[in-house]
Amino acid sequence: MNSLIFEQVFQQKEDFLPILLLADDGPHLENYLENGDLFTLSLKNGKTVACAVVIKKQKILLKLRISR
């Protein structure tokens, strides 16, 4: 059984575009890659089997005013 390695990628994220494009070929993908965090799941032999880009959403504070 192969061991899996989960890690965050900080440099050369573009190298993973071919894998990411299998799931989403939209024009926004490169923007997500530039601004998001990229994580990979690889086999012990170095072959990447999965990628995920995590996008940070802006936190918004909403106030609800109830008048009586």
Instruction: Please write the tens of the pLDDT for every residue from 18-50.
Output: 888 888 877 888 888 888 999 999 999 889 988
What are the φ/ψ torsions at residue 3 (nearest 5 degrees)?
Answer: -80, 145
- pLDDT at position 62, please? 65
Q: Is 53 helix (H, G, I), strand (E, B) or coil?
A: strand
Q: In whole numbers, what is the pLDDT of the chain averaged over residues?
A: 83
> pLDDT-based confidence at 63, cuts 50/70/90?
low
- pLDDT at position 11, please? 94
Start-to-end Cα distance in the chain: 65
The more confident residue out of 33 and 60 is 33
What 8-state DSSP symbol labels residue 20? H
Distance CA 51, CA 45 (A): 16
Report the Cα 10 to chain-centroid distance in Å.
11
